[in-house]
Structure formats: structure tokens, C-alpha cells
């Protein structure tokens, strides 16, 4: 049974991350048995079952979507399902395994467009957009370490689909894998900008425009544009364009074009 980590003083609930809040933190064999629904994988101890593994996973995703991964506990999932905490463990052995099941479920439900007849740039643009949409729906995934990805059916389908964006382009297998990692790393980093912007607005009850308007009078007194001339000029231009310090949409569009240009050096100029 997993232990719930107590928050540090002043740490927001949605920002807490316990020692198990990453992929593949549980027992790998038990996790894989559950991911692939191997016969007999579900624990059988405890009260008579009134729910299912799928229901526990769905409840976990709903909690994480609404309140962040820090709100995810086996007790919270049990409450959502109308079960006792002990009963929840008859479906999933702990939070670590539950997180892997949640990630794989989210991956399995992603939209996957037909890439077969698209030019390679459109293929890569498509898988980038699919991942961006998934992270917008499930922001907690953007902050969950997945260096040991949950190797379930959802992950397998996602990975195979994304590799097809680079299939037939003359790249070796290791370079294809690295190219997927490169694209998805960019998408995740920009998704975090959008998520953090939304959180800042929610936490402060102010839009970026309102926040800068409030800060502007004091900044005008303390910021020396002559001392930092390039930063002052460029920051003012960007702020006026985006009505904020950053624009996630602009960062995505600008960055994806650079990602595609970089990949073109491998694909079009081998």
C-alpha cells in the first residue's frame, strides 16, 4: 500500500509531487500485468468487488484533470467511487501503478490521424498537434516524468503511430526514435507555458494584461531602459504583440517551424 506524502508548508495542493509521482515507480511486473490486463493480475483480497480497474483509472484521471496530480490519492479515488480505501486496493495495488494505468489510458484515447498520404512535414505537424491537444486536456501529464514510459497498449499505439511520421524517409531506427523524442520534447515544453499561464491567471485572479498593468507604475520607476537597452526594446515589442510576456500559441507556431527546419537537414539533405 502506498504512502501519501505530506505537503511542504505553503506548497499548493496542485503542485505537490510525491516520490511515486512519475511513471514506472511501482513493481514493473505487476504494472505490466495490469496494463495488459493479464488474467489474474487484479488483486483479489478484500471485500467483494463492486467496481473495476477501468473505473478506478477513470476516477484517477478525473481527479488529476480537475485538481492536478498532487490531489491524486487512493483515498480520494475511493471516495469518488463510493468505496472504502481498502476496497480500492482490490483493483490497483497502489498509487504508483495507478499513475501508469492513467497515463496509458490517456495515451490510448488520443486522436490518431491517418498519416499515410501526407508529406513528412504535415505528418510531423500532425503528431505535434495531437500531443498538444492531449496535454491541454490532461495538463498533469506535461509535468509527469516518463523517462521509463508505461509500456502498455496505449503507449505502444502512440509510439508506433508517431514513428510512422518518420517512416520511409531514409532515417535509421535510432534516428527515428530520437526525432520523435525531439518533437515531443518541444511540444511538452510549450504546453507547459500555456498551462502555467492559465494557472497564474487562476491563482492570482488576474489576466496577464491586468497583472502587467498593476506592475507597470513601479516598473517605470525602477527599470532602467538605458542600462538594459536591448531587453527594454525587445521586451516592449513582444509585450505589445502578445499583450503578455509570453504567448504559448506564438511560441508553438514559431518553434514548430524551427523544429521542422532542423529535421529537414536530416531528411532532405542527408
The pTM (predicted TM-score) of the whole model is: 0.86
Per-residue pLDDT of the chain (270 residues; tens, 9 = 90+): 444 443 333 334 444 444 558 999 998 999 999 999 997 655 555 555 678 999 999 999 999 999 999 999 999 999 999 999 999 999 999 999 999 999 999 999 999 999 999 999 999 999 999 999 999 999 999 999 988 888 999 999 999 999 999 999 999 999 999 999 999 999 999 999 999 988 888 888 888 778 778 888 888 889 999 999 999 999 999 889 888 878 999 999 999 999 999 999 999 987
Distance CA 77, CA 55 (A): 10
Q: What letter would DSSP give residue 47?
A: S
Distance CA 22, CA 147 (A): 9
Q: Is the dihedral of CA 113, 119, 122, 123 positive or negative?
A: positive
Can you name the CATH fold of 120-267? Answer: Tetracycline Repressor; domain 2 (1.10.357)
**The CATH homologous superfamily of the domain defined by 13-108:** Homeodomain-like (1.10.10.60)
SS3 label, residue 204: helix
| Per-domain residue ranges of the chain | 13-108, 120-267
SS3 label, residue 73: coil
- Cell reading at 239: 509585450
Amino acid at each position: 500500500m502506498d504512502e501519501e506524502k505530506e505537503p511542504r508548508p505553503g506548497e499548493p495542493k496542485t503542485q505537490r509531487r510525491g516520490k511515486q509521482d512519475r511513471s514506472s515507480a511501482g513493481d514493473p511486473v505487476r504494472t505490466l500485468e495490469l496494463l495488459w490486463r493479464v488474467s489474474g493480475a487484479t488483486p483479489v483480497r478484500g471485500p467483494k468487488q463492486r467496481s473495476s480497474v477501468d473505473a478506478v483509472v477513470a476516477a484517477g484521471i478525473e481527479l488529476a484533470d480537475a485538481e492536478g496530480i498532487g490531489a491524486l490519492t487512493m483515498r480520494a479515488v475511493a471516495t469518488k467511487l463510493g468505496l472504502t480505501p481498502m476496497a480500492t486496493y482490490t483493483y490497483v495495488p497502489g498509487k504508483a501503478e495507478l499513475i501508469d494505468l492513467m497515463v496509458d489510458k490517456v495515451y490510448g484515447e488520443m486522436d490518431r490521424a491517418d498519416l499515410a498520404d501526407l508529406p513528412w512535414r504535415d505528418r510531423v505537424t500532425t503528431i505535434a498537434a495531437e500531443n498538444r491537444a492531449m496535454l491541454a486536456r490532461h495538463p498533469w501529464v506535461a509535468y509527469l516524468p516518463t523517462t521509463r514510459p508505461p509500456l502498455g497498449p496505449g503507449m505502444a499505439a502512440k509510439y508506433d503511430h508517431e514513428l510512422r511520421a518518420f517512416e520511409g524517409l531514409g532515417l535509421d531506427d535510432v534516428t527515428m526514435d530520437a526525432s520523435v523524442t525531439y518533437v515531443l520534447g518541444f511540444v511538452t515544453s510549450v504546453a507547459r507555458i500555456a498551462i502555467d499561464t492559465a494557472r497564474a491567471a487562476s491563482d492570482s485572479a488576474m489576466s496577464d494584461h491586468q497583472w502587467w498593468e498593476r506592475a507597470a507604475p513601479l516598473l517605470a520607476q525602477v527599470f532602467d531602459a538605458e542600462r538594459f537597452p536591448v531587453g527594454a526594446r525587445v521586451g516592449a515589442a513582444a509585450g505589445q504583440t502578445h499583450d503578455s510576456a509570453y504567448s504559448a500559441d506564438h511560441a508553438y507556431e514559431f518553434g514548430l517551424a524551427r523544429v521542422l527546419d532542423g529535421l529537414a537537414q536530416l531528411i532532405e539533405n542527408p
